[in-house]
Amino acid sequence: MNEQADGPIGAVVALVRSTFLVNAVYEASAREFGLTQQQGQLLCVLMAQSYGMGELGAVLGLAKSSLTGLVDRSERNGLVERSPDPHDSRAVRVGLTRRGAKLADEFYARTCRRVDELMAGFAPEERDALAGLLGRVVADNQVPMVFVER
């Protein structure tokens, strides 16, 4: 257990507070690139592959109307494009444009550096231990892939 001002901090509190910390870093990076946090997430998800709207909604945890608005705004900004789904003529796939891919790479690199700085004081074995434990949490809970290891 780690210490906080009013006593020890347990795993649940540490995870919740670290989520707020990482979200703040993510939001600050997005703002620097003129993006919303949701647009940053969208770009990072699409770095690996294009998605159908249903899949994309599930990965991002967004309702259909929210996702449509997000994709519409991102498309108007030239970051993503819709294309016909080759396996379903009624569906579309969403992928990055060249501009979107370039921005996604830059956003991803900057955000990863910032998150990495959160662990600046960790020894290599501490980083490995943290990665192993958080990796288990992610795998056990089938968290969708948003950031990919590069």
Band of pLDDT at residue 148, cut at 50, 70 and 90: low
The domains found in the chain, sorted by start residue, are 2-140 (1.10.10.10)
pLDDT in tens, 57-71: 999 989 999 999 999
Say yes or no to pLDDT of 145 above 80: no
Among 118, 132, 128, 133, residue whose Cα is nearest residue 20: 118
Whole-model pTM above 0.75?
Answer: yes
| Phi, psi dihedrals of residue 132, rounded to the nearest 5° | -65, -45
What residues have CB less than 8 Å from 36, skipping those under 6 apart?
Answer: 30
CA pseudo-torsion sign 143, 145, 147, 150? positive
What span, in angstroms and rounded, lies between the C-alpha atoms of 69 and 48? 22
